[in-house]
Amino acid sequence: MFYEFGIFSTFYGGKEMPDWISCRSEGSSISFTIPSSSKKKLRGLNFICMDAFTYGDSYKRPYVKISNITKNLTWIYNHYVIWVKALEADSEDGEEYHVCVLSHWMFGPDEMKVGDHITITVEQIKNYVVRSGGKESYIPRIRTKACGIGFVYEDDIDEKTEEEDALGYYKSWNHIIGGDLSGFQLTTGEYILEFCNFRRDSVELVEYCPFIDGSAIYKEEKMWFKAFSGKKKSDEDVQVPRDVGNAR
C-alpha cells in the first residue's frame, strides 16, 4: 500500500470485489449520487477497478478521474507506482490476467456531500503492441472490465479523539485533496495528481495525461513543496529538484 494526495492505494490479483463495494458497474466508468445517511457525515470514498490483460508479464495502473459534477471539481490521479508484476496465479487459462486496483480517497464536505452527482472514469495508459503484417496496427494491452465504489462514514470508524485518529498524520500532509493543490491545477480547472509535478518548472504538462485538452497548462509556473499544512508559503518552502522521483 502507498499514500499520496490524500489517497491510499493497493492492488491484488483476482476478480473478486470486497463485499463493502456497494455500487458496481461494468466497464471503465461509474456514475452515482451521494446518498443520504443516518450516519454523521461522509469521511471518504473507496474505489476499485478490475483490469484484464492477455499477454506480457507486467501491468500498468490506470489513470483515475473523479468528477463532482455538482461542485464542478475534477481530480485526475496517476499512481506513483505504475508498473506492477503480474501474478501467475491470476491467469486461469494461461492467457488472461486479472488485477484489482483498490483506493481510498479522503474526501471532506467541501469536496463531496449528500446529493452531489459524481462520475468516475478509468483510462488506461497508452501501451500498444505492433502487429506483424504489411502495416503497423495497434491494440490496447489492458482493458477495464468493471469498477465499483463504497462510501465511508464517520460511524464506520471507531470514535477517537483527534490525537488518536489513525488518519490524523496523513490528513496533516499539505498537498492533499482538501489541502493545498494549487500547484496541481490546470487553467481548465482540473487537478492533475501526479508525483512528477513536484519537480516541474514550467506551466507545461510534465507527462501525457488523458482527459485533458492539448492546450491546457498549469495555472502556476512552479510547484512549491510544503510537507505539512498549517503554514504559509515562506523561505522554508522548497521547489523539489527535477531529478527527484525519476526512478518511478
pLDDT digits (tens, 9 = 90+) for 66-78: 999 999 999 999 8
86-140 confidence digits (pLDDT tens): 554 445 555 678 889 999 999 878 899 899 999 999 988 765 545 555 555 445 5
pLDDT, one tens digit per residue, over 191-245 is 999 887 777 778 887 666 778 877 788 888 777 677 777 644 444 444 444 444 4
Residue 184 grid coordinates? 496541481
pTM for this prediction: 0.79
What is the helix (H) or strand (E) element at residue 87, kind and residue range? none
Counts for the chain of helices (H) and strands (E), in that order:
1, 15
Nearest-5° Cα angle at 124, 176 to 167: 25
Average pLDDT, the chain: 78
Domain boundaries, the chain: 2-199
Dump the DSSP string for 193-228: E-GGGGG--SSS-SS--TTS-TT--BSSSS--B-SB
Q: Torsion-angle region of residue 211: left (phi > 0), alpha (psi -120 to 50) or beta?
A: left
